[in-house]
């Protein structure tokens, strides 16, 4: 079988005659092995025409681009970046190593369209699974090979919000199937196989031309024309009378008038009761896979490569990917709000303020690095933050500016992780309505939950600030702290404050600052209203080292 792979790799597709200039992107994974002579027939059934010639020169530089996990809005940007790095390093073959359960439809279509623009030969290596979106990405490559115990297929669009209505399903299926069809024609696959992966009810038959011996895989409508000899007009007319849900499964796809009755049945390969999924052996029989590749050394051997290297995500992309996880973002939002609140409770540069700042940078920077956030999302966040700060420091609009700013920040945070555009090579990415609403719902819910948890944090900080173990260590003090305030009632501690004592604000209280009581300076917090510097104040509450004052 491996020699069959070599025959295909070396003998099929003459458009590629020269390797890309430059040197390999890394050291070889294995010593170069000259490929055996391409004299053995390619595996699988005979085709009406040979595949376009891949003509891979011996000593090629192979770059392996892993695509693992769920296909998301980040995948197209990640793939394009790594392919560009590989091409800049002199790669003459791009191999997409697939191990994915599927993912977002439009992200997969964006990757599929991009693969067809790559100026060097491409190979899809299914290692271990290429389900759903992964199957479409595989179909876009010039060639598919598979590892042992791998699988491809099961590509029907689904919605996490429930069953798609017939019209919405048709709207999603139309571009999805059109992309599969284009890939099948470009790479000489039978579209019926991909159709059966996406739609229930597609029966697949292997048929053979009575005169030429050409073998095809066709659906039931083509079978009726090509094998049973029914006139095309009658089959098309019968299909038009079916319900919209069944038309796709009974439409003539490849048959022409010249094919009527000219073919014979070899076997039925799929009954349409399930979605087509094929392991590596069955995919080889269906002429989807052109052979077996076990590991990088095997890949180097069958391609005769001088160097094989995996092109992974950069460290910054790994970190950014982690910080765009929904639950990680929720934790970051809590840190921004709670630590920011602590900073206002304790004037001056503090550890809490530093944590809040770093968390905010991660919130807006990670999606931007991954290509999910656009610049206007960041501008929206910064405008919202500015409005909140203006209200906090001036209390100019009785909370209106703060409310508007909080809303703008909420919108910016939610939209920054929902892809609305792609890289330059594959054009804009837009999610189908069901996926978009689901992403909006989940992201908005997680963000709102984080805000609510933060309000609980505000309460505990307000009530127990100074008594929470380790909290005082967050304050970076340049000089000794003022004496602690004592609760109301008699106290033997010199300089302790009591409820009702009067003093003067030394700084503006918005809400925290400093006040003078009898010649001694204390850190205080206003009861809620903004208090100007120099205003007379009265102690309203003393709890631990937290002193609440009000305008006298």
Place of tokens 């709207």: 171
pLDDT of residue 435: 53
Q: In the prediction, which pLDDT does 482 show?
A: 42
Report field, pTM of the whole predicted structure over 0.95: no
| Rounded mean pLDDT, 350-378 | 80
Q: Please say whether the beta carbons of 54 and 9 come within 8 A.
A: yes
Q: In angstroms, what CA-CA distances link 202 with 68, 196, 487?
A: 29, 5, 79
Q: Which CATH number fits domain 2-168+279-310: 3.90.226.10, 1.10.10.10, 3.40.50.300, 3.40.50.1000?
A: 3.90.226.10
Q: What is the topology classification, in CATH, of domain 482-551?
A: OB fold (Dihydrolipoamide Acetyltransferase, E2P) (2.40.50)
pLDDT single digits (tens) 407-448: 888 888 888 877 654 433 333 334 445 556 666 777 888 888
Instruction: Report whether pLDDT(166) > 60.
Output: yes
pLDDT, mean of residues 82-108: 91
At 79, give phi and psi (nearest 5°): -65, -45
* Between 527 and 188, residue with greater pLDDT: 188
Q: Can you give the pLDDT at residue 66?
A: 95
pLDDT of residue 257: 85
pLDDT of residue 25: 35
pLDDT in tens, 208-256: 999 999 999 999 889 989 999 988 777 766 655 544 445 555 577 888 8
DSSP 86-109: HHHTT-SEEEEEEEE--B-HHHHH
**The tokens of 120 are what?**
């060097």
pLDDT in tens, 125-134: 999 999 999 9
pLDDT bucket at 551, cuts 50 / 70 / 90: confident
Which of 115-124, 373-382, 385-394, 396-405 reaches the highest mean pLDDT? 115-124
Please count the residues of the chain: 552
Per-domain residue ranges of the chain = 2-168+279-310, 319-373+416-473, 482-551
The average pLDDT across 287-293 equals 90
Q: Confidence class of residue 527 from pLDDT cuts 50, 70 and 90?
A: confident
DSSP percent split of the chain into helix, strand, coil, nearest 5:
40, 15, 40
Residue 465 scores a pLDDT above 90: no
pLDDT of residue 497: 80
Averaged pLDDT score across all residues of the chain: 76
Higher pLDDT, 520 or 206: 206
326 half-sphere exposure, CB direction, 13 A CA radius: 15
């Amino acid at each position: 079988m491996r020699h069959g792979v070599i025959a295909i790799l070396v003998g099929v597709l003459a458009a590629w005659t020269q390797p890309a200039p430059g040197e390999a992107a890394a050291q070889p994974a294995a010593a170069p092995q000259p490929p055996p002579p391409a004299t053995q027939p390619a595996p699988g059934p005979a085709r009406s025409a040979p595949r376009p010639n891949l003509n891979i020169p011996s000593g090629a530089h192979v770059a392996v681009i892993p695509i693992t996990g769920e296909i998301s809005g980040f995948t197209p940007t990640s793939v394009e970046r790594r392919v560009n790095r590989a091409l800049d390093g002199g790669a003459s073959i791009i191999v997409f190593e697939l191990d994915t359960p599927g993912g977002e439809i439009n992200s997969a279509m964006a990757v599929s369209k991009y693969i067809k623009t790559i100026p060097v030969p491409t190979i899809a290596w299914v290692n271990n699974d290429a389900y759903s979106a992964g199957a479409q990405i595989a179909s876009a490559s010039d060639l598919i090979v598979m590892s042992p115990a791998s699988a491809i297929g099961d590509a029907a669009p689904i919605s996490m919000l429930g069953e798609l209505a017939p019209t919405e399903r048709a709207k999603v299926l139309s571009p999805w199937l059109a992309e599969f069809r284009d890939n099948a024609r470009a790479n000489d696959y039978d579209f019926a196989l991909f159709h059966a992966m996406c739609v229930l009810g597609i029966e697949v038959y292997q048929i053979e031309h009575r005169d030429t011996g050409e073998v095809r895989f066709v659906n039931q409508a083509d079978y009726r024309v090509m094998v049973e000899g029914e006139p095309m007009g009658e089959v098309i007319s019968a299909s038009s009378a079916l319900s919209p849900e069944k038309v796709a499964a009974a439409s003539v796809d490849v048959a022409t008038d010249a094919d009527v009755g000219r073919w014979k049945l070899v076997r039925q390969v799929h009954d349409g009761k399930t979605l087509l999924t094929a392991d590596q052996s069955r995919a080889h029989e269906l002429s989807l896979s052109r052979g077996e590749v076990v590991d990088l050394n095997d890949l180097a051997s069958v391609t005769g490569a001088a160097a094989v290297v995996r092109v992974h995500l950069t460290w910054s992309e790994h970190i950014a990917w982690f910080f765009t996880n929904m639950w990680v973002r929720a934790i970051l939002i809590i840190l921004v709000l709670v630590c920011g609140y602590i900073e206002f409770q304790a004037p001056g540069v503090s550890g809490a303020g530093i944590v809040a700042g770093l968390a905010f940078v991660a919130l807006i920077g990670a999606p931007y690095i991954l290509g999910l956030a656009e610049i206007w999302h960041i501008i929206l966040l910064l405008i919202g933050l500015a409005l909140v700060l203006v209200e906090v420091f001036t209390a100019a609009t009785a909370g209106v500016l703060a409310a508007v700013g909080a809303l703008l920040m909420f919108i910016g945070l939610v939209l920054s992780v929902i892809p609305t555009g792609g890289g330059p090579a594959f054009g804009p990415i837009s999610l189908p309505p069901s996926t978009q609403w689901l992403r909006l719902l989940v992201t908005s819910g997680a963000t709102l939950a984080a805000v609510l948890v933060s309000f609980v944090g505000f309460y505990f900080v307000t009530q127990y600030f100074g008594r929470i173990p380790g909290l005082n260590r967050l304050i970076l003090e340049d000089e000794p702290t003022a004496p602690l305030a004592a609760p109301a009632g008699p106290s033997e501690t010199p300089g302790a404050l009591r409820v009702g004592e009067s003093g003067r604000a030394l700084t503006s209280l918005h809400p925290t600052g400093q006040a003078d009581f009898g010649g001694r300076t204390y850190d205080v917090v206003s009861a809620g209203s903004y208090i100007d510097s120099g205003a007379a104040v009265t102690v309203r509450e003393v709890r631990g080292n937290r002193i609440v004052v009000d305008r006298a």
